[in-house]
């Protein structure tokens, strides 16, 4: 009996060793952002500061729900020698748009509208739209009836036909006179002015970036009965605890608000006066646009991006359902929409609900790098973010540079993350 008891631990130990030795070693998860990628990222971002082509730049990347990269280089304000930092506040311009689309889709989930509903069903301001056909010998616009109403899907994918150029004879002059995006307009006043301006093309026939997402903000306000600024705060920004994402930067945070820079030549930057560059964000205006206007920090915007890659949920808060995120990240442009303005410069992409959606891999090394299925957008001051569901990777790049990315920044940043594009030879 005693002898058996003495042998038992040895047998047990032997069994443990045997079982352990039979187990397969855990497979190490491979990360896109590994040591080589980190070195590429540091070198790439630092080089733009060293060459004087940006004043300050920062980036944050999460992969498989882990922070895998952060760094900041240069100055948020060169004049005051304030370094670019993780907590720097920047103007995100059109990266406001996906936030607006998220707010809109919370109402879609509640059954308040369908994507193919006519916009005029909720907003008679957009009934009986006319379509521009050029000008006659006297310079008067030639107009025809719209073939069909503008739909809500049109305003989520930029196929509504709203003009957005300053070189359309007659139409551009009318747009300037109406000044729909004046900060002094309410969203309702803005909608009245857009709705009374002829469309540039028949709805659904072309892709043309413009005022569609500002109209989305108006639609949120109209359908919900709640001022848009309040709605987006209560349904998106507040629940995500994006406390630094705001239209107005309070005085106590102005020291964190990055200056904006104009690149005038290779290695030459001019710091823009805050009074003009920050005019929209220094006081509360009647306009609460959906297409631009928000300021944010890296961590705030990363929270939003992580919510998207996590299929609508983060930190126990569900903003949208997984199937809604999937719908937003699906290409909604039919092949019949062949005129797509500058969208092809983003790569081989279509467009979903307020995101470009990558449909095909790059065909040349010169194209914009990216993974099929990713969805993304950027901002006028050269900011960028993307969501890569395949690799569970989200990246946010902040800079305040005008004109928009004339230095290959987005291309080189993407190449630094994924490595240089390799194209398989055709058979």
Tokens at residue 39, please? 């070195």
Query: Mean pLDDT in the chain?
Result: 93
Residues 104-133: what's their mean pLDDT? 98
> Does 16 map to a domain?
no
Whichever domain contains 88, its CATH number is 3.40.710.10
Q: What phi and psi values does residue 295 have, to the nearest 5 degrees?
A: -110, 155
- Count: domains in the chain: 2
d(C-alpha 49, C-alpha 73), whole Å: 7
Note whether residue 2 is domain-resident. no
pLDDT at 9: 36
Same domain, 361 and 400: yes
Q: What is the pLDDT of residues 310-343, one digit of tens each?
A: 999 999 999 999 999 999 999 999 999 999 999 9
Burial code (b: 16+ CB inside 10 Å, e: under 16) for 174-196 equals bbeebebbeeebbbebbbbbbbe
The whole-number pLDDT of residue 30 equals 86
**Residues ≥6 apart with Cβ < 8 Å to 216:** 100, 101, 104, 155, 156, 290, 354
Q: Which residues make Cβ contacts (< 8 Å) with residue 59, sequence separation at least 6? A: 41, 45, 69, 70, 71, 72, 298, 395, 396, 397, 398, 413
Check whether the bond before 403 is cis (ω within 30° of 0). yes
> 260-307 pLDDT, tens per residue?
999 999 999 999 999 999 999 999 999 999 999 999 999 999 999 999
Same-domain check for residues 234 and 325: yes
- Assess whether 320 and 377 both reside in one domain: yes
List Cα–Cα distances, 117 to 147, 151, 181, 335, in angstroms.
Answer: 15, 6, 25, 21
Q: How confident is the model at residue 27 (pLDDT cuts 50, 70, 90)?
A: low
414 and 321 in a common domain: yes
Q: Are residues 235 and 198 in the same domain?
A: no
Residues 86 and 164 in one domain: no
Residue 265 belongs to domain spanning: 35-104+227-418
| Co-location of 151 and 197 in the same domain | yes
Q: Are residues 116 and 179 in the same domain?
A: yes
**pLDDT tens-digit map of 42-53:** 999 999 999 999
DSSP 381: T
Confirm whether 268 is domain-assigned: yes
What are the DSSP calls for 395-413, one per residue?
Answer: EEEE--EESTT-SSHHHHH
What share of the chain in percent tops pLDDT 70? Answer: 93
For residues 47 and 121, state if they share a domain. Answer: no
pTM of model > 0.85: yes
Per residue in 176-225, pLDDT tens? 999 999 999 999 999 999 999 999 999 999 999 999 999 999 999 999 99
Neighbours of 300 (CB within 10 A): 23
* Domain's final residue, options 201, 224, 247: 224
Q: In the predicted model, what is the mean pLDDT of residues 151-166?
A: 97
């Amino acid at each position: 009996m005693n002898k058996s008891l003495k042998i038992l631990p040895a047998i047990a130990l032997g069994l443990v060793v045997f079982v352990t030795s039979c187990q397969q070693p855990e497979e190490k998860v491979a990360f896109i952002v590994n040591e080589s990628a980190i070195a590429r990222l540091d070198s790439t971002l630092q080089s733009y500061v060293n060459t004087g082509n940006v004043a300050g730049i920062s980036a944050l990347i999460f992969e498989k729900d882990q922070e895998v990269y952060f760094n900041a280089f240069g100055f948020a304000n060169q004049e005051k020698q304030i370094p670019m930092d993780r907590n720097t506040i920047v103007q995100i311009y059109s990266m406001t748009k996906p936030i607006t689309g998220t707010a809109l889709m919370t109402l879609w989930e509640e059954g308040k509208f369908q994507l193919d509903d006519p916009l005029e069903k909720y907003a008679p301001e957009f009934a009986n739209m006319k379509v521009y056909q050029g000008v006659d010998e006297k310079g008067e616009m030639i107009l025809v009836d719209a073939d069909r109403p503008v739909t809500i899907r049109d305003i989520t994918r930029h196929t509504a036909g709203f003009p957005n150029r300053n070189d359309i004879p007659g139409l551009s002059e009318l747009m300037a006179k109406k000044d729909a995006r004046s900060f002094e307009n309410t969203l309702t006043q803005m909608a009245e002015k857009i709705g009374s301006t002829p469309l540039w093309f028949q709805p659904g026939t072309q892709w043309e970036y413009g005022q569609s997402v500002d109209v989305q903000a108006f639609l949120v306000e109209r359908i919900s009965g709640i001022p848009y600024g309040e709605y987006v705060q209560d349904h998106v920004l507040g629940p995500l605890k994006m406390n630094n994402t705001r239209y107005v930067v309070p005085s106590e945070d102005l020291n964190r608000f990055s200056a904006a820079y104009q690149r005038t030549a290779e290695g030459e930057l001019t710091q823009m006066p805050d009074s003009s560059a920050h005019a929209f964000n220094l006081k509360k205006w009647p306009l609460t646009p959906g297409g631009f206007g928000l300021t944010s920090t890296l961590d705030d915007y990363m929270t939003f991006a992580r919510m998207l890659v996590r299929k609508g949920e983060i930190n126990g808060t569900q903003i949208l359902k997984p199937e809604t995120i999937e719908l937003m990240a699906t290409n909604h442009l039919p092949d019949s929409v062949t005129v797509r303005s500058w969208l092809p410069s983003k790569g081989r992409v279509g467009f979903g609900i307020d995101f470009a959606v990558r449909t095909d891999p790059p065909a040349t090394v010169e194209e914009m790098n990216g993974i099929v299925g990713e969805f993304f957008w950027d901002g006028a001051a050269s900011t960028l973010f993307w969501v890569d569901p395949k690799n569970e990777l989200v990246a946010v790049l902040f800079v305040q540079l005008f004109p928009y990315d004339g230095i290959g920044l987005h291309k080189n940043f993407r190449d630094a993350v994924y490595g240089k594009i390799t194209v398989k030879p055709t058979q």
